[in-house]
Structure 1
Amino acid sequence: MNYYAVRLPILDEEKSQVYREEHLNYLAALADQGNIFTYGRFTDGSGGLVIYKAKDLDEATSLAKKDPYVTSGARDFVINEWAMNTDVLSR
């Protein structure tokens, strides 16, 4: 599995509030399937970040595009493969 960082900048604040529960349920379901490493919001209110676990960029992009935040137009997404530095975790 590879890791993909998906930034979700806000496009529409009102829609973001409306679709928040659906978004969190979507992430919970993917976490149960093993496709989420972690996620969280930015404290400045600009959006959030999801770290997906996927076999390749196409799979991660497909998962990100199905997020209710994205499908509703509440958020955009920017995706990059992420090389997690595991050396830091062992210190």
Structure 2
Amino acid sequence: MVAWTDYKAVARDRGALAFEVFVAESTPQKSPEEVKAVLPDHLAYVKGLETSGKLMLAGPLSDDSGEEMQGAGMLVFRAASINEARELAENDPMHKSEARTFRLRKWLINEGSLSITAGLSSGHIVIS
């Protein structure tokens, strides 16, 4: 097993981006009605994170078939540490209310391409 700091260095040495973000997979723990009751506060919270630059991406996940939305979701945070990302996830009204729980992991983004920066709920777009 390779230590995280060593893995980042190896990735950078081979020309990869090695951009670190944190992914919270959020799963429902209460009834759909109880989850839905917290939705307005959750959406306001994630919009605030988006505006502050702490939220990269968020949204629901499908089941394994890709056909049905099953209630799971994912949030991708920009944070200085896993502890900061954990605090962001813990402060989400969905998690504070225990309507949902989360699993948090680091994600080292190495490859891919992006051509725009878009605030998905605010409509703010920068083309560069």
TM-score, shorter chain, exceeding 0.5: yes
In structure 2, how many angstroms separate the alpha carbons of the residues matched to 1:24 and 1:84?
26
Q: TM-score, normalised by structure 1?
A: 0.90
1:32-79 Cα offsets, whole Å, 9 max, x none, are: 111000011013313100000000000000010000000111100100
In structure 1, how many angstroms separate the alpha carbons of the residues matched to 2:20 and 2:77?
8
Check whether the contact 1:2–1:56 (CA below 8 A) recurs between aligned residues. Answer: no
Where does the alignment leave 5 or more consecutive residues of structure 1 unmatched? none
1:14 to 21, 30, 33: 33
Check whether the contact 1:37–1:52 (CA below 8 A) recurs between aligned residues. Answer: yes
- Judging by fraction of residues, say which structure has more helix: 1
Report what 1:54 is aligned to: 79
Query: If you compute each CA radius of gyration, which structure gives the higher value, 1 or 2?
Result: 2
Q: Which has the higher contact order (CA 8 A, sep 6+)?
A: 1
Q: Which runs of 4+ in 1 moved over 6 A?
A: none
Give the aligned residue type for 1:19.
V
Cα offset, 1:2, TM superposition:
3.3
Where does the alignment leave 5 or more consecutive residues of structure 2 unmatched? 1-18, 63-68, 115-128
RMSD: 1.5
Identity of counterpart residues, as a percentage?
24
Give the aligned residue type for 1:2.
E
1:33 to 52, 60, 64: 52
